[in-house]
Amino acid sequence: KAGVTQTPRYLIKTRGQQVTLSCSPISGHRSVSWYQQTPGQGLQFLFEYFSETQRNKGNFPGRFSGRQFSNSRSEMNVSTLELGDSALYLCASSLDAGHTDTQYFGPGTRLTVL
């Protein structure tokens, strides 16, 4: 089975621009979560989608948004980019068949804001 895939892997943007990142979960997985990883703040939860609905949201400004499609693929969007948005953005998927389901992470998208 193919793992979680994220595109693009690397992205360079300038301040004020917007960006869209894509995540394809493992086949059959219904839950997709997004995390931001930075050296200073570590791994922080952005949001979770299940059946095209946002089920959970972290403490990030409204510039960060996401959505999930009927095939469980997910996208996240960051508008009006700031230098501090430079980070590794990770997507994780799970079956969501039970509380202790394993979450599988993709390799991430490395976003650099100049």
Partner 1 sequence: QQQVKQSPQSLIVQKGGISIINCAYENTAFDYFPWYQQFPGKGPALLIAIRPDVSEKKEGRFTISFNKSAKQFSLHIMDSQPGDSATYFCAAKKAAGNKLTFGGGTRVLVKP
Instruction: Pick between residue 14 and residue 112 the one whose CB is nearest to partner 1.
Output: 112
Instruction: Pick between residue 42 and residue 62 the one whose CB is nearest to partner 1.
Output: 42
Q: Which of 42, 53, 62, 70 binds partner 1 (CB under 8 A)?
A: 42
Instruction: Pick between residue 46 and residue 81 the one whose CB is nearest to partner 1.
Output: 46
Write down the least CB distance from residue 111 to partner 1, Å.
15
Count the Cβ atoms, other than its own, within 10 Å of residue 74. Answer: 25
Q: Which of 4, 19, 78, 113 binds partner 1 (CB under 8 A)?
A: 4
CA atoms within 13 A on the CB side of 85: 26
Site for partner 1 in 52-111 (CB under 8 A): 55-56, 58, 90, 92, 94, 96, 99-108
Measured distance CA(58)–CA(48) in Å, rounded: 9
